[in-house]
Amino acid sequence: MESSAVLSIFKQTGALLEGHFQLTSGLHSNQYFQCAKVLQYPEHCESLCRVLAEDARSRNINVVIAPALGGIVVGQEVGRQLGVRTMFAERKDGVMQLRRGFEIIPGERVLVCEDVVTTGGSVGEVLALAVAAGGTIAGVSCIVDRSGGAVTFPAFDGRHTAVMTMHAVTYKPDQCPLCARGLPVTKPGSRGNR
Protein backbone atom coordinates (compact mmCIF):
# COMPACT_ATOMS: atom_id res chain seq x y z
CA MET A 1 0.00 0.00 0.00
CA GLU A 2 1.44 3.36 -1.04
CA SER A 3 2.06 5.97 1.69
CA SER A 4 -0.07 8.45 -0.25
CA ALA A 5 -3.04 6.02 -0.11
CA VAL A 6 -2.59 5.55 3.65
CA LEU A 7 -2.33 9.30 4.19
CA SER A 8 -5.47 9.77 2.11
CA ILE A 9 -7.36 7.31 4.35
CA PHE A 10 -6.19 9.19 7.46
CA LYS A 11 -7.28 12.53 6.01
CA GLN A 12 -10.61 11.15 4.71
CA THR A 13 -11.52 9.78 8.16
CA GLY A 14 -10.36 12.87 10.07
CA ALA A 15 -7.60 10.85 11.73
CA LEU A 16 -4.70 13.15 10.82
CA LEU A 17 -4.98 15.99 13.31
CA GLU A 18 -3.13 19.31 13.10
CA GLY A 19 -2.39 21.47 16.13
CA HIS A 20 -0.18 21.22 19.24
CA PHE A 21 -0.04 17.75 20.76
CA GLN A 22 1.76 15.96 23.57
CA LEU A 23 2.42 12.44 22.33
CA THR A 24 2.37 9.34 24.53
CA SER A 25 6.19 9.53 24.50
CA GLY A 26 6.01 12.98 26.14
CA LEU A 27 7.34 14.69 22.99
CA HIS A 28 5.35 17.48 21.35
CA SER A 29 4.30 17.62 17.70
CA ASN A 30 2.17 19.65 15.32
CA GLN A 31 0.56 16.45 13.96
CA TYR A 32 -1.22 13.54 15.61
CA PHE A 33 -2.31 10.28 14.02
CA GLN A 34 -5.53 9.21 15.72
CA CYS A 35 -5.52 5.62 14.41
CA ALA A 36 -8.73 4.78 16.26
CA LYS A 37 -10.62 7.08 13.88
CA VAL A 38 -9.36 5.01 10.92
CA LEU A 39 -9.65 1.60 12.57
CA GLN A 40 -13.34 2.17 13.44
CA TYR A 41 -14.04 1.41 9.78
CA PRO A 42 -13.69 -2.37 9.25
CA GLU A 43 -12.68 -2.01 5.61
CA HIS A 44 -9.77 0.31 6.50
CA CYS A 45 -8.76 -1.80 9.49
CA GLU A 46 -8.74 -4.95 7.36
CA SER A 47 -6.77 -3.44 4.48
CA LEU A 48 -4.13 -1.71 6.64
CA CYS A 49 -3.64 -4.76 8.84
CA ARG A 50 -3.47 -7.03 5.78
CA VAL A 51 -0.15 -5.36 4.90
CA LEU A 52 1.22 -6.33 8.33
CA ALA A 53 -0.24 -9.85 8.30
CA GLU A 54 1.12 -10.62 4.82
CA ASP A 55 4.56 -9.41 5.86
CA ALA A 56 4.48 -11.63 8.97
CA ARG A 57 2.93 -14.72 7.38
CA SER A 58 6.25 -16.45 6.60
CA ARG A 59 7.56 -15.99 10.17
CA ASN A 60 5.49 -18.79 11.73
CA ILE A 61 3.85 -16.54 14.33
CA ASN A 62 2.19 -18.32 17.27
CA VAL A 63 0.81 -15.30 19.11
CA VAL A 64 0.26 -11.58 18.50
CA ILE A 65 0.53 -9.14 21.41
CA ALA A 66 -0.13 -5.40 21.47
CA PRO A 67 0.17 -2.63 24.04
CA ALA A 68 -3.12 -1.24 25.31
CA LEU A 69 -4.79 0.85 24.29
CA GLY A 70 -3.90 1.91 20.77
CA GLY A 71 -2.45 -1.37 19.56
CA ILE A 72 -5.34 -3.63 20.61
CA VAL A 73 -7.41 -3.28 17.44
CA VAL A 74 -4.32 -3.65 15.21
CA GLY A 75 -3.16 -6.74 17.10
CA GLN A 76 -6.61 -8.32 17.02
CA GLU A 77 -7.03 -7.84 13.27
CA VAL A 78 -3.50 -9.01 12.42
CA GLY A 79 -3.99 -12.06 14.66
CA ARG A 80 -7.33 -12.79 12.99
CA GLN A 81 -5.78 -12.63 9.54
CA LEU A 82 -2.90 -14.88 10.64
CA GLY A 83 -5.26 -17.26 12.46
CA VAL A 84 -3.35 -17.07 15.77
CA ARG A 85 -4.06 -16.12 19.40
CA THR A 86 -4.08 -12.43 20.20
CA MET A 87 -3.56 -10.68 23.51
CA PHE A 88 -2.64 -7.31 24.91
CA ALA A 89 -0.46 -5.94 27.65
CA GLU A 90 -1.65 -3.08 29.82
CA ARG A 91 -0.26 -0.77 32.44
CA LYS A 92 -1.06 -1.29 36.09
CA ASP A 93 0.48 1.22 38.48
CA GLY A 94 2.52 2.55 35.55
CA VAL A 95 4.07 -0.83 34.68
CA MET A 96 3.28 -2.78 31.50
CA GLN A 97 1.95 -6.23 32.44
CA LEU A 98 0.22 -9.30 31.10
CA ARG A 99 -3.09 -9.57 32.94
CA ARG A 100 -6.55 -11.13 32.42
CA GLY A 101 -5.06 -14.62 32.27
CA PHE A 102 -2.94 -13.90 29.19
CA GLU A 103 0.31 -15.82 28.99
CA ILE A 104 3.06 -16.45 26.50
CA ILE A 105 4.22 -20.04 26.44
CA PRO A 106 8.02 -20.37 26.41
CA GLY A 107 9.26 -20.86 22.87
CA GLU A 108 6.23 -19.26 21.18
CA ARG A 109 7.03 -16.99 18.24
CA VAL A 110 5.66 -13.55 19.09
CA LEU A 111 4.64 -10.66 16.84
CA VAL A 112 4.23 -7.30 18.59
CA CYS A 113 1.73 -4.93 16.92
CA GLU A 114 1.10 -1.23 17.55
CA ASP A 115 -0.89 1.52 15.89
CA VAL A 116 1.64 4.41 15.88
CA VAL A 117 5.31 4.32 16.86
CA THR A 118 7.38 7.44 17.56
CA THR A 119 10.04 6.49 20.13
CA GLY A 120 8.99 2.84 20.51
CA GLY A 121 8.61 3.07 24.28
CA SER A 122 5.38 1.06 24.64
CA VAL A 123 6.53 -1.54 22.11
CA GLY A 124 9.82 -1.86 23.98
CA GLU A 125 7.96 -2.59 27.20
CA VAL A 126 5.86 -5.28 25.50
CA LEU A 127 8.95 -6.82 23.90
CA ALA A 128 10.60 -7.05 27.33
CA LEU A 129 7.47 -8.78 28.73
CA ALA A 130 7.43 -11.30 25.88
CA VAL A 131 11.13 -12.09 26.26
CA ALA A 132 10.80 -12.41 30.06
CA ALA A 133 7.97 -14.91 29.50
CA GLY A 134 10.21 -17.02 27.27
CA GLY A 135 8.78 -15.92 23.93
CA THR A 136 10.88 -15.61 20.79
CA ILE A 137 10.40 -12.25 19.11
CA ALA A 138 9.52 -12.86 15.45
CA GLY A 139 8.69 -9.27 14.51
CA VAL A 140 7.38 -5.81 15.29
CA SER A 141 4.63 -4.26 13.15
CA CYS A 142 2.80 -0.94 13.20
CA ILE A 143 0.43 1.07 11.06
CA VAL A 144 2.43 4.35 11.22
CA ASP A 145 6.13 4.76 12.03
CA ARG A 146 6.59 8.45 12.83
CA SER A 147 10.36 8.03 13.34
CA GLY A 148 11.17 7.77 9.64
CA GLY A 149 12.39 4.22 10.24
CA ALA A 150 14.95 5.30 12.84
CA VAL A 151 13.27 3.74 15.90
CA THR A 152 15.05 0.71 17.37
CA PHE A 153 13.99 -1.84 19.93
CA PRO A 154 16.62 -3.21 22.36
CA ALA A 155 14.87 -6.59 22.73
CA PHE A 156 14.56 -7.08 18.96
CA ASP A 157 17.35 -6.60 16.46
CA GLY A 158 15.37 -7.39 13.30
CA ARG A 159 13.65 -4.90 11.04
CA HIS A 160 10.23 -3.67 11.97
CA THR A 161 7.36 -3.33 9.50
CA ALA A 162 5.17 -0.26 9.04
CA VAL A 163 2.33 0.34 6.63
CA MET A 164 3.47 3.98 6.41
CA THR A 165 6.83 5.40 7.43
CA MET A 166 7.33 9.11 7.75
CA HIS A 167 9.55 11.52 9.60
CA ALA A 168 7.21 13.55 11.78
CA VAL A 169 8.50 16.64 13.49
CA THR A 170 8.70 16.25 17.26
CA TYR A 171 10.06 18.48 20.00
CA LYS A 172 11.20 18.01 23.56
CA PRO A 173 8.73 19.99 25.69
CA ASP A 174 11.38 22.50 26.80
CA GLN A 175 12.40 23.12 23.16
CA CYS A 176 8.92 23.22 21.61
CA PRO A 177 8.28 26.31 19.44
CA LEU A 178 4.53 25.73 19.78
CA CYS A 179 4.85 26.06 23.57
CA ALA A 180 7.03 29.16 23.09
CA ARG A 181 4.20 30.71 21.04
CA GLY A 182 1.80 29.98 23.93
CA LEU A 183 -0.36 27.52 21.98
CA PRO A 184 -2.34 25.21 24.30
CA VAL A 185 -1.23 21.59 24.20
CA THR A 186 -3.66 18.70 23.70
CA LYS A 187 -2.97 15.18 25.02
CA PRO A 188 -4.99 12.88 22.75
CA GLY A 189 -3.21 9.61 23.66
CA SER A 190 -4.41 6.89 25.99
CA ARG A 191 -2.24 7.50 29.07
CA GLY A 192 -4.57 9.39 31.35
CA ASN A 193 -5.74 11.68 28.60
CA ARG A 194 -9.03 12.29 26.81
Q: What is the CATH number of the domain that holds 62?
A: 3.40.50.2020
| 113 contacts 75 by C-beta, under 8 angstroms | yes
In a domain, 190, yes or no: no
Nearest to 53 by CA among 80, 29, 71: 80
Provide the 8-state DSSP code for 191.
S
Q: Is residue 70 part of a domain?
A: yes
Judge whether 82 lies within some domain. Answer: yes
Containing structural domain, residue 132: 3-180
> Is residue 189 in some structural domain?
no
Q: What would the pLDDT profile of 71-101 be if each residue is shown by its tens digit? A: 999 999 999 999 999 999 999 998 899 989 9
Q: Over the stretch 163-184, which tens digit does the pLDDT of each residue have?
A: 999 888 889 999 999 999 999 9
Q: Is residue 105 part of a domain?
A: yes
- Domain count for the chain, please give it: 1
Does the residue 113 lie in any domain? yes
- List pLDDT tens digits, range 108-147: 999 999 999 988 899 999 999 999 999 999 999 999 998 8
pLDDT at 193 over 80: no
Per-residue b or e along 91-103, where b marks 16 or more CB atoms closer than 10 Å to that residue's CB: beeeebebeeebe
Residue 192 lies in a domain: no
- Global pTM reads 0.87
Residue 152 lies in a domain: yes
pLDDT tens-digit map of 147-167: 888 898 877 888 799 999 988
∠ CA 48-49-52, nearest 5°, is 110
